[in-house]
Chains A and B, each alone.
Chain A
Amino acid sequence: MIEFLSQGLNGIVIGNVYALVAIGFSLIFGVTNLINFTQGSLLMVGAFLAYTVMQAGLPMAVAVPLAIAGTTVLGMLIERVALRPLEKAPWIAPLLSTLALTFIIDQSAEIIWTPEAHRFPLPFVDVAWQVGAAYVTGVDLAILTLSVAIMAGLWLFLTRGWSGQALRAMAQDLDAARQMGVPADRLRLMAFGLGAGLAGVAGVMIAIYHGTVYPAMGVSFGLKGFTAALLGGLASVLGAVLGGILLGVLEALAVGYIGEGYRDMVAFSLLILILTLRPQGLLGDRRLDALGGSRGASGVMPSTSIMIGQGGQALPQGWRLELKPLWLAACVGLMATLPLFGLSDYVVQVGLTVLIFGLLAVGLTILSGSAGVMFLGFAGFFGAGAYVAALSAKAWGLPAEAVLLLACVATAGLAAIIGLLCASLTGHVVGLATLAMGVLIWLVLLNWNAVTGGPNGIFGIPRPRLLLLPGVPMTSLAAQYWQAVVLLVVAVLAAGRVMGSPLGRSLRAIREDRVAAHAAGLPVLRYLVTAFALAGACAGLAGAAFAFQQRFISPDSFRLDTSFLMVAMIVLGGLGNLTGALLAAAALIVLPESLRGFADYRMIVFGVLLYLTLRFRPQGVAGLR
């Protein structure tokens, strides 16, 4: 009992920190309907600014306000540069644009402050009280006081103040609020400044809490703050605090009774469970649900489409580059000649990576492009396919066709099950639920030591022969390359066929307006699960090709950044456009390779290019379909 209560206390203490981070997310989402990925980076910048000012010899009482002011200005700058120009773009554009800024900020921080952890000077000695098998410190109480005070202040601001009320009105209907004379641009700028300032506060408090600052702190606390905000109901500030504490307590109990390794698994499973049962979060609002699912519940638009902008207007179509599937497959087929030009194996391997990501892009195009389910955890399926292929090829010595088929079918099955769970979600919620799904699969690969080898991965994966061509050795890189070309040609033909068929049209109808599709009698759930299974099949093939290419796989290859890379591919290419997706896959693999010379600046350049595309051509380079 003592242990249980002690763990509960531990949970409240860390949950308190999560809550402080989550408040910033909720504020920005509540008043702008935007998920701001930079919140984590802002938190890190706040901590580092305070650190730098204190390094310069100034006292903490000066450093902390300066740091908060600094993050506030940076937050406003982000709104002005990254979000306002995208106001009319589909909601996925600002989401990805904040992601691009995250790359830029995090990488810049690594260059400025080095990637190492730094000691955060503490001008006071913290006191600790033992409570059972746990303890509480003065800093814990300070954080608690601060989050309660901020929560109360925000509540007063949002319900009593004119600006707060105007902000909430903007979240419900931007155009109407504008017509009523609300200075929307100025208020949004203010909301972002406030949110960023809160991130700065959270960053400084975390720096004091741990006594260290390090550039990677933004990512981990950002993700937890996000989860907490989502648990509580994205738009609710009180919900953010409750969500944070709930997350903390459950994590602590998971560590106490299952094991530290399962901490995040519990956190993300819980998130998925709550999203499935109660997509609006614990304190979220469901009143507007009839008008378009949980996205409508947060007050945006009576539509489930990911293609329309904040104000509800469709994107300008503009020119579009799209080849017929047959021609596209023929172009992919032409890539088969690459190894014949006497180029180095390095070029062939880059080509093979392009083919593998091409397969993934085809899968994600069906799921996110056609069916409109923004899947942010696709690397999970990729990983599942790779592990199934690696294990079956290594343990049973199956021929290549059997391995590919097995990976394909197993991953499709997994995807279909996940599809059943995700099908009822829409809008932002589906993005976050699938992000959690991706992390969850990664955690399973990392923790299921008996089967996946855990962090050691699987080593010595054979490159099996083909049953059809038993005389041909498949061990060379070129042979693997040609095998992948065949897979991609088949996938392009099949996907093209599906997308051009009545099934594809139905998927696009579901994407554009799920409620209307449902009302028109389409079996929405069945179609969505089919889309998941097709996407999973492509990811399974890609995973198998990857396992053969690498001969060694470990969970490191299937992390969140790989998922983001895939999403960037299909969005930059133009959602639903196979030609665009393949072009973008090629560009996003070849580009970072060719930027190797810039080593330190590579992710910054990548972020800038992503941002510029979203800014000037949000419908993707090749155009939407």
Chain B
Amino acid sequence: MRAPKLVLASLLATVLGGTAVQAADPIVIGMFGPMTGERSALGLRFREAAEMFSEEMNAKGGIAGRPIEVRIEDTRGTPRDAALIAQKFASDPAVLAVIGGQTSTESMAAAPILADAKLAQVAPTASHPDYAKISPYQFRTTATNPTMTEPHVDMLTKLMGMKKIALVYFNDDWGTVVSQLTAARLKELGVPVVLTETMIPDSRDFRPLVTKIKSSGADGIFLISHYAESALFMQQLRQADPTIKVAATDTLNDPQFIELAHGAAEGVIMPTPFLPESPAAAGFSKAYEAKFGKVPNYYSAFTYDAFQVVGNAMQLLVAKGKPLTRQNIRDQIADAPPLAGVSGMIKYEGTGDLGSRPVEYIVVKGGTYQPFK
């Protein structure tokens, strides 16, 4: 397995590093996320992105001749573990920056501790509006929820022409916020939301929900959920209603969604800042597929970009001849010129939030994602 190898490598590094010149010491980036437990499918994407980044960097000779080492810690998706891991990273002077976590809640549990330790934290997929407000040390590579509201509402009302909308959201930190923001904006525009329903974690039976949607008279659904649950929802929805329009969030931009839905994903439209085939991502997607035998998804891309943000800042510091310290890395991330990430241009302006990002719309057609026109 990969993890013991990493441990071995780090053990070896500490044994050898004792006497070796400082230049050979690895540059350590900490990463935390749900590597086991029910969210571990997403943690796996984190791990793959980390592995790809460190291998690519080290193949190029690392940073200033020092290899990159990613130290991966498992939160099992719990904030309690995230706080402990944050403290562990904070206490280890070798750790220079931290990537993680997967959910907003685990990212926010770690945030105050990392901020106290002056460690920059780049969360790949935490989209909670308050996350970046915790301190100047918090950054993210995903778009914040508010910046996605306009693209979502445009998609529902203009692209799809929905008149009466049913909102179905996953009951987690992200889903509730997106749903609230969308509902508020639709209200301003005077578009009626006839039904707002939530999916609870572990739920896989959506027939009662489908019946409710059919009875509500909605002509379109906005699906704010994760791919595995959504695939089942679509299967059950299409059995009952083959025609109702469905729009979704970028979380469904995952080939697994199409595969698991057994054909029921056809026609679902979503915005996305990450297209595996787009010019910015093509090289990354190809390498990813060659290495792991699957197409990268949203989580892979944002995690890879989080590493790029940190790696880029380190390289800029080295180029300027500044020492690689925690504080310098944080400052450099904040001041770095626009960086071409696989999910689009990344530039922080004053906060750890990215501004609104160009969004494209895609649709599931013929068992694959195609640009929506």
Residues of A within 8 A of B (CB): 2-3, 6-7, 10-11, 13-14, 17, 107, 110-111, 114-119, 122, 128, 130, 132-135, 137, 210-212, 214, 216-217, 219-220, 251-253, 255-256, 259-261, 263-264, 344-347, 349-350, 353, 446-447, 449, 454-457, 459, 477, 546, 549-554, 556-557, 559, 561, 593, 596-600, 602-603
Give the docked Cα–Cα distance between A347 and B88 (Å).
8
Known contacts A349-B84, A599-B3: A219-B262 contact under CB 8 Å: no
Give the docked Cα–Cα distance between A553 and B210 (Å).
33
**Whose C-beta in chain A lies nearest to the C-beta of B264?**
A211
Stretch from B148-156, B172-180, B274-282, B350-358 that touches the partner: B172-180
Asked if B171 is at the interface of the complex by the 8 Å CB criterion, the answer is yes
Known contacts A134-B240, A353-B80, A598-B3: A459-B108 contact under CB 8 Å: yes
Q: Judge whether B256 and A260 touch: CB under 8 Å.
A: no
Q: Judge whether A261 and B240 touch: CB under 8 Å.
A: no
Q: Judge whether B205 and A552 touch: CB under 8 Å.
A: no
Q: Per-residue CB proximity of B63-107 to A under 8 Å, as 1/0? A: 000000000111011111001100110111000000000011110
Asked if B345 is at the interface of the complex by the 8 Å CB criterion, the answer is no
**Whose C-beta in chain B lies nearest to the C-beta of A592?**
B81
Q: Judge whether B84 and A346 touch: CB under 8 Å.
A: yes
Known contacts A115-B40, A252-B208: A346-B203 contact under CB 8 Å: no
Give the docked Cα–Cα distance between A477 and B86 (Å).
13
Contacts of B176 in A (CB 8 A): 449, 454-456
Q: Judge whether B260 and A350 touch: CB under 8 Å.
A: no
Q: Judge whether B208 and A256 touch: CB under 8 Å.
A: yes
Q: Judge whether A114 and B260 touch: CB under 8 Å.
A: no
Known contacts A261-B171, A600-B3: A353-B84 contact under CB 8 Å: yes
Q: Judge whether B36 and A603 touch: CB under 8 Å.
A: yes
**Whose C-beta in chain A lies nearest to the C-beta of B38?**
A216
- Identify A212's interface contact among B40, B90, B232, CB under 8 A: B232
Residues of B within 8 A of A (CB): 1, 3-4, 7, 35-38, 40-41, 43-44, 72-74, 76-80, 83-84, 87-88, 90-92, 103-106, 108-109, 111-112, 128, 130, 134, 171-173, 175-177, 197-200, 202-205, 207-212, 214-215, 228, 231-232, 235, 239-240, 256, 259-260, 262
In the A-B complex, list the 4 residue pairs whose CB atoms are closest, starting with the nearest: A344-B91, A255-B208, A115-B40, A346-B91
Give chain A nearest CB distance to B344 CB in angstroms: 26
**Whose C-beta in chain B lies nearest to the C-beta of A546?**
B80
Q: Judge whether A552 and B215 touch: CB under 8 Å.
A: no
Q: Judge whether B74 and A554 touch: CB under 8 Å.
A: no
Q: Judge whether B204 and A220 touch: CB under 8 Å.
A: yes
Give the docked Cα–Cα distance between A559 and B81 (Å).
13
Contacts of B104 in A (CB 8 A): 456
Q: Judge whether A255 and B109 touch: CB under 8 Å.
A: no
Contacts of B215 in A (CB 8 A): 2-3, 6, 133
Known contacts A211-B260, A260-B200, A600-B36: A255-B209 contact under CB 8 Å: yes
A-B contact pairs, 8 of them (CB 8 A): A3-B211, A133-B214, A219-B202, A251-B208, A349-B83, A456-B104, A550-B109, A603-B36
New contact pairs (7) apart from A119-B262, A212-B260, A554-B105, CB-CB < 8 Å: A133-B211, A135-B240, A211-B232, A260-B199, A446-B171, A600-B3, A603-B36
**Whose C-beta in chain A lies nearest to the C-beta of B198?**
A261
Give chain A nearest CB distance to B41 CB in angstroms: 4
Known contacts A454-B176, A459-B130: A552-B109 contact under CB 8 Å: yes
Give chain A nearest CB distance to B87 CB in angstroms: 4
Q: Judge whether A599 and B36 touch: CB under 8 Å.
A: yes
Give the docked Cα–Cα distance between A551 and B79 (Å).
11
- Identify A346's interface contact among B37, B41, B90, B231, CB under 8 A: B90
Contacts of A603 in B (CB 8 A): 36
Contacts of B209 in A (CB 8 A): 255, 260
Contacts of A353 in B (CB 8 A): 80, 84
Known contacts A3-B215, A264-B200: A457-B260 contact under CB 8 Å: no
Contacts of B262 in A (CB 8 A): 119, 122, 211
Q: Judge whether B239 and A135 touch: CB under 8 Å.
A: yes
Give the docked Cα–Cα distance between A205 and B50 (Å).
37
Give the docked Cα–Cα distance between A107 and B38 (Å).
10
Known contacts A455-B172, A550-B109, A554-B105: A13-B207 contact under CB 8 Å: yes
Contacts of B36 in A (CB 8 A): 107, 110, 115, 599-600, 602-603
Q: Judge whether B83 and A119 touch: CB under 8 Å.
A: no
Q: Judge whether B41 and A350 touch: CB under 8 Å.
A: no
Known contacts A252-B207, A349-B87: A212-B171 contact under CB 8 Å: no
Give the docked Cα–Cα distance between A214 and B41 (Å).
10
**Whose C-beta in chain B lies nearest to the C-beta of A5?**
B211
Known contacts A455-B176, A600-B36: A346-B79 contact under CB 8 Å: no
Contacts of B76 in A (CB 8 A): 561
Give the docked Cα–Cα distance between A554 and B54 (Å).
33
Give the docked Cα–Cα distance between A261 and B209 (Å).
10
Give chain A nearest CB distance to B299 CB in angstroms: 11
Give chain A nearest CB distance to B349 CB in angstroms: 24
Q: Judge whether B84 and A260 touch: CB under 8 Å.
A: no
- Identify B105's interface contact among A133, A455, A596, CB under 8 A: A455
- Identify B211's interface contact among A134, A557, A600, CB under 8 A: A134
Give chain B nearest CB distance to A102 CB in angstroms: 13
Contacts of B207 in A (CB 8 A): 10, 13-14, 134-135, 252
Q: Judge whether A552 and B202 touch: CB under 8 Å.
A: no
Give the docked Cα–Cα distance between A596 and B36 (Å).
12
Give the docked Cα–Cα distance between A15 and B198 (Å).
21
Give the docked Cα–Cα distance between A216 and B232 (Å).
15
- Identify B200's interface contact among A263, A349, A556, CB under 8 A: A263
Contacts of A110 in B (CB 8 A): 36, 40
- Identify A260's interface contact among B73, B172, B198, CB under 8 A: B198
Give chain B nearest CB distance to A120 CB in angstroms: 9
Q: Judge whether A116 and B90 touch: CB under 8 Å.
A: no
Contacts of B235 in A (CB 8 A): 210-211
**Whose C-beta in chain A lies nearest to the C-beta of B197?**
A260
Q: Judge whether B256 and A447 touch: CB under 8 Å.
A: no
Q: Judge whether B128 and A11 touch: CB under 8 Å.
A: no
Give the docked Cα–Cα distance between A596 and B90 (Å).
16
Known contacts A220-B202, A261-B198: A454-B79 contact under CB 8 Å: no
Give the docked Cα–Cα distance between A242 and B337 (Å).
65
Contacts of B200 in A (CB 8 A): 260-261, 263-264, 446
**Whose C-beta in chain B lies nearest to the C-beta of A604?**
B36
Contacts of A345 in B (CB 8 A): 87, 90-91
Q: Judge whether A212 and B3 touch: CB under 8 Å.
A: no
Give the docked Cα–Cα distance between A6 and B214 (Å).
11
Give the docked Cα–Cα distance between A125 and B26 (Å).
55
Give chain A nearest CB distance to B352 CB in angstroms: 15
Q: Judge whether B228 and A214 touch: CB under 8 Å.
A: yes
Contacts of A111 in B (CB 8 A): 1
Contacts of B1 in A (CB 8 A): 111, 600
Contacts of A6 in B (CB 8 A): 211, 215
**Whose C-beta in chain A lies nearest to the C-beta of B130?**
A459
Contacts of A557 in B (CB 8 A): 78-80
**Whose C-beta in chain A lies nearest to the C-beta of B109?**
A552
Contacts of A10 in B (CB 8 A): 207-208, 211
Q: Judge whether B171 and A454 touch: CB under 8 Å.
A: yes
- Identify B112's interface contact among A132, A212, A455, A551, CB under 8 A: A551
- Identify A597's interface contact among B7, B43, B111, B172, CB under 8 A: B7
Give the docked Cα–Cα distance between A261 and B176 (Å).
12
**Whose C-beta in chain B lies nearest to the C-beta of A446?**
B171
Contacts of B204 in A (CB 8 A): 210, 217, 220
Q: Judge whether B79 and A554 touch: CB under 8 Å.
A: yes
